[in-house]
Chains A and B, each alone.
Chain A
Amino acid sequence: MSGDAQACQELVDTHQRMVYHLALQLLSNHDDALDLSQDVFLTVFRSIHRFRGDSALQTWIYRIVINQARNRQRWWRRRRRADQVSLDAVIAERGEFAAPIGPTSPDRALDQKQLGERLWRALNRLPFDQRSAVVLRELHSMRYAEIAFSLGVTNAAVKSRLARARQTLRTELRPQ
C-alpha cells in the first residue's frame, strides 16, 4: 500500500501543473480548477488499469481533464448558471492583465490590454469544444492528432474548430 501511495504521489507531482493549468484555462476559476484537478487525479487512479498505452499517459490525462471540464460546463448550464463570464469576475479572479513586454507607448499598452481583455472575454464565450481546441493548441502546443485524441474527435474536426474559433477571436481584434 505504501508503494502504491508513493506511485500516486509521483504521478501527481509529475502532472499536477499541467492538469491545474489546463483546468484553470478552461474554467477560469482557481477553486473550480483545484477541485477539478483533484477529481481528475482520483479518476486517473481509479481507471489507470484501463490505460492501454494507445497514447502517451499525459495525453490520456489531458483527455480526462477535458471530459471532466466539459461535464462541469454542462452541469453549470443545467443549473442555469451564467455561461458567460463577466469581465469583472475574470479580473477579480486573476487580476489585471499585464502590459505587453517591451518599449511601447502608454496609449499602445492600454490598447493592447483592452484588446487582450476583449479577446479573453471572447475566448470564454466560445463553445467549450472550440475553446478547448484553442487552449490545447495555443497554450499547450499540442499537435492536431493529440488534440483530436483529447477531444475524442477527428483531425478534420480539430482543424475546423480551430478555424471557426480563430475567426471569432479575430473579430475582437477589429477596431470598435
Chain B
Amino acid sequence: MRVLTSLRCRTVRTWLTVAHDDELSVGRQVVLDAHLTSCAPCRGVRDDLASVATLIREGAAEYRPDETVFARLAPEVLARRTMEFDTRWRHRVRDVVEDRQRLWLIGGSLTATVAGALVLTFLSLAASTHPGSLAGWLQGSNALGSNANPLRLATGVTLPRVAADTRAEAMFMQPLRPLGIPNLALRAVVTREGQVASLEVMDDGAPNAALTRAISRLAADVRFEPARARRGPVAVNVVWLLERTTVAPAPDVPEAAGGD
C-alpha cells in the first residue's frame, strides 16, 4: 500500500507543475485535488511551486528599466536600420571585390555581354548600309529569291518589267548589226536590283560566246523593275525567245476586181 501511495505521489507530482500552469485536464485536476486533500507532502510541493513563482515575479519586478531606454530604443533601431540600408550595397561591392573568383565571373560576363552587344549592333548597322557585307550575305545569300538563288517564274511572282527610263534610252540604242540568225534564245537572271546578270545566248541550241558578249554589253544599260514576290523584290530566272519575223506588205488588190 505504501508503494502504491508513493507511486501515486510521484505521478501526482508530475501533474502538479502542469496544474500550476493551468494546463492540466479537468479529469486529472479532479484526481489531483482529491489527492492533495489527503497528502501533506504533495501539498508542500504545490506550495513550493507557488513560492518559486512568487519569488521569481518579485525578483523580476526589480528589473525596472529606466523609461529613457524606451525613448531612445526606437530612434536607435531606426538609425541602425537606415545605416544598414545605406551600407548594404557598399558591403556587397566590397565582398565582391574581395572575392576574386566572383569578380572574374562578373567581369567575364560583362565583357561577353558587351562584346555580344557590339557584334549585334555592328551587324544591324552593316545590314542597313552595306548589302554586300557579311550581315547582308548572312541575311540573304542563301534565301530563295536572292541573286545567288533566283526563283523560277511561277504564280505569286510578278514579271520583271523594263523600267520607263530604260525604254526611253533604248530609242537611242545602236542596233546590232544584221546577224543573219533566224532564232535566238536568251537565258538570264533579273536580279533584285533590276539588273540583267548571267546572260547566255543560245544560237540553234548551242551557246554563242560572241553573241553573248555583244548582247551583254547592251544589256548592261538595261534596267528592270524587279520581279516581286510576297516579301519584296526577288531575283528570277528569265528565258527570252527571239524569232526573226518578216512582215510582208499586204498584196495589192486590183481595183477591177469586183467592179462591174
B-binding residues in A (CB < 8 A): 5, 8-9, 12-13, 16-17, 20-21, 24-25, 30, 33-34, 37-38, 41-42, 45, 94-98, 100, 112, 115-116, 119-120, 123, 134, 137-139, 143-144, 159, 162-163, 166, 169-170, 173
Assuming A137-B21, A163-B14, is B77 touching A38 (CB within 8 A)?
A: yes
Q: Write out, one digit per residue, whether chain B residues 75-108 have a CB within 8 A of any chain A CB (1) or not (0).
A: 0111011001000000000000000000000000
* Bound form: Cα–Cα A30–B59 in Å: 15
Secondary structure at the A interface, as helix, strand, loop or mixed, is: helix
Kindly state the interface size class of chain B when it binds its partner: 20 to 34
Assuming A139-B57, A166-B52, A170-B48, is B65 touching A41 (CB within 8 A)?
A: no
Least CB distance, B128 to chain A, in whole angstroms? 46
* Bound form: Cα–Cα A116–B74 in Å: 33
Assuming A159-B18, A170-B52, is B60 touching A38 (CB within 8 A)?
A: no
Q: Is the CB of A169 within 8 A of B52?
A: yes
Least CB distance, A11 to chain B, in whole angstroms? 9
A-binding residues in B (CB < 8 A): 14, 17-18, 21, 23, 45, 48-49, 51-53, 55-63, 65, 69-70, 73-74, 76-78, 80-81, 84
Q: Which listed residue, B23, B61, B81, touches A8 by the CB 8 Å rule? A: B81
Q: Is the CB of B78 within 8 A of A98?
A: no
Q: Is the CB of B51 within 8 A of A173?
A: yes
Least CB distance, B191 to chain A, in whole angstroms? 64
For B18, B63, B84, the residue with the greatest tally of chain A CB atoms inside 10 Å of its CB is B63
